[in-house]
Structure 1
Amino acid sequence: MSMIGLYVPGTSPGHRLPAGAKLLALLAVVTAIVAAANLWVALAAVLAALLLHPLCGLGPRAAARTLRPLLPFLAVIAAFQVLAGDGPAAARVCAQLAAAVLLSGLVTMTTRVSEMLALFERLARPLRFAGVRPERVALLLALTIRSIPMAASAWRASREAYIARGLRGRPHLMVVPVIVGLIRSAEAMGEALTARGID
């Protein structure tokens, strides 16, 4: 597992492909899906993404886990488009988003975080002439990625405390503890970086 718990170890062709090739293919495919602006193309991309999961050693649960957080957004987008009187556009946009997210999830689950960071560090090397330090870019990305599970963990802890206190119907009470938890984590991370001489 990676530090964000998304990487699924394996030896499939998807796992063996270099991170750069996967990201380039992802960019090309998603651009083509959006440029086509066609419902059937988007649906074909969704089907292809679902079929690629077993080829990469990932089951249907992995695809469902990837799509689940997107469902509320798809519902809002679909409702807005339908209310605007454009049902076909609602279906097309939702299919495009689902395809893009499924393909992105596939790349994430078959690529180690260390490979991804090394790739971004290499891509940032030409920016040295502008005073950008590639290793700092990689560090920034690593910290950003690390913040995702930290935020999820803070939210989980706040929700468990909320339920344990028997509170119901006032979810806004969870916001302040989450923010406090994230600030404490950020302070601890800053102190750790300072202790290692990273300013």
Structure 2
Amino acid sequence: MTRRRRPPWTGPLGLYRHGTTPLHRAPIGAKLAGLLLLGVAVVLVRGTTSAVVLLGLAVGAAVLARVPARATLVGLLPVLVTASGLGAYQWWQRGPATAIEVCADLITLVVAAGVVTATTPADRMLDALERAAGPLRHVGLRPEILALSVALMLRTIPALVQTAGEVRDAARARGLERDPRALLVPAAIRTVARARATGDALAARGLGE
């Protein structure tokens, strides 16, 4: 029986998905400003009702952007696990109202960030980041290097998760899925090799300094 290959995990922020919705057509500055205002509201506005309303706004934006529900849920799985742990702790320490608020706030921010990345091409987002970081040039930080660092981070995180999955599958095929060495050592070696290859490529282009 042939085992079905699962698609690579792209992280809770997802990937850009072409579309013609109002959010796709909106300026990147407006979307980032909206995300910032939502983050401020999450921090400053307290209460379970407010947290649920803000979560509803984030989910509504995802529906408006026509982000696929299945892909969103798959990307949110690690966040949901984290939110469950935080919620259980807050429930124990401070009660159910605080637990619901904390979980809703965390999921709201992740879903909203996912909507922005799903409706904005990566090159446009990095160009906007480079322009916004322009004043940092006066303190010795090159904005283009900052944008490149963010691009590498966004590309590396899914690649690392995919590497971990491939290593786990290989260990399972050898019956070693319970052996930490069969999981950690190959993953560490492949991660270091990838980092060195990336560093060499950047240095060859004069971007290593």
Q: CA RMSD in A?
A: 1.9
Q: How does 1:1-199 map to 2 (within 5 A)?
A: 6-171=15-180, 173-199=182-208
CA distance in 1, matches of 2:140, 2:60: 44
CA distance in 1, matches of 2:141, 2:42: 34
How many Å apart are 1:172 and its aligned residue?
A: 5.8
Percentage identity across aligned positions? 38
SS in structure 2 of the partner of residue 104 of structure 1: helix
Task: Tell me which amino acid in the other structure corresponds to 1:113.
Answer: A
TM-score by length of 1: 0.90
SS in structure 1 of the partner of residue 18 of structure 2: coil
Query: Is the contact between residue 14 and residue 117 of structure 2 (CA under 8 Å) also seen in structure 1?
Result: no
CA distance in 2, matches of 1:142, 1:59: 24
TM-score by length of 2: 0.86
CA distance in 2, matches of 1:198, 1:29: 35
CA distance in 2, matches of 1:50, 1:172: 41
The gaps in structure 1 that reach 5 residues or longer are none
Count of equivalent residues: 197
The gaps in structure 2 that reach 5 residues or longer are 1-9
Deviation digits for residues 53-88 of structure 1 (CA, Å, limit 9, x no counterpart): 232122322432342221111111111112214221
Q: Which moved more, 1:113-122 or 1:66-75?
A: 66-75
- Runs of 4+ aligned structure 1 residues displaced above 6 Å come to none
Q: Which moved more, 1:145-154 or 1:86-95?
A: 145-154
